[in-house]
């Protein structure tokens, strides 16, 4: 399953999936993370701290094989490099995002401050940008962790509240 939004950067859909969550399709059985909330929180924070981002968010476009950019986060190097809303991010570091396995491996090796190339499709033409990756902003980190806790750990926290 491929998430259709929330990439947060160089494809955070690939980099920021839950540590060991059993992903289920929408409408399927409830999603549940296999880790305790404490160890999951720690592993998410560790992962965010070593992840470098372009800082964008978009929707997966199957036909084009990329993420159609819908917004840039504050401080996005994608926006400052000249990427635009509506561009479709198709490659990072020369690796097609449609090649999920290789793209995921590459995403996991991106660090804040390291350099990367990002290729977009704009009006049928490929344009490649050189960017220096940023760290995950605290508010984005909090938002992503909160979302995961609600989606994957809600039964656990509800049980504890009793």
Binding residues for Zn ion, per CB under 5 A? 33, 40, 152
Q: Which is nearer to Zn ion, 11 or 40 (CB)?
A: 40
**Residue 19: what are its φ and ψ, rounded to 5°?**
-55, -45
Cα→Cα distances 43→20, 46, 49, Å = 10, 5, 10
- CA 17/CA 151 separation, integer angstroms: 12
Looking at beta carbons, which residue is closest to Zn ion? 33
Q: Which is nearer to Zn ion, 129 or 152 (CB)?
A: 152
Smallest gap, in angstroms, from Cβ of residue 147 to Zn ion?
A: 11
Smallest gap, in angstroms, from Cβ of residue 45 to Zn ion?
A: 12
Q: Which is nearer to Zn ion, 63 or 158 (CB)?
A: 158
The closest alpha carbon to 89, from 51, 117, 109, 52, belongs to 117
Smallest gap, in angstroms, from Cβ of residue 44 to Zn ion?
A: 7
């Amino acid at each position: 399953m491929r998430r259709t939004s929330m990439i947060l950067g160089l494809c955070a859909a690939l980099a920021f999936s839950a540590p060991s969550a059993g992903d289920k399709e929408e409408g399927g059985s409830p999603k549940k993370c296999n880790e305790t909330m404490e160890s999951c929180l720690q592993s998410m924070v560790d992962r965010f701290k070593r992840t470098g981002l372009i800082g964008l968010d978009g929707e997966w476009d199957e036909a084009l094989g990329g993420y159609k950019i819908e917004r840039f986060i504050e401080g996005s190097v994608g926006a400052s490099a000249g990427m635009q809303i509506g561009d479709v991010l198709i490659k990072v570091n020369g690796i097609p995002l449609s090649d999920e396995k290789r793209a995921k491996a590459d995403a996991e090796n991106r660090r804040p401050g390291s350099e990367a190339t990002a290729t977009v499709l704009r009006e049928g033409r490929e344009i490649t940008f050189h960017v220096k990756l940023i760290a995950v902003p605290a508010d984005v980190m909090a938002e992503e962790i909160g979302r995961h806790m609600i989606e994957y750990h809600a039964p656990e926290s509800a049980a504890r509240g009793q």
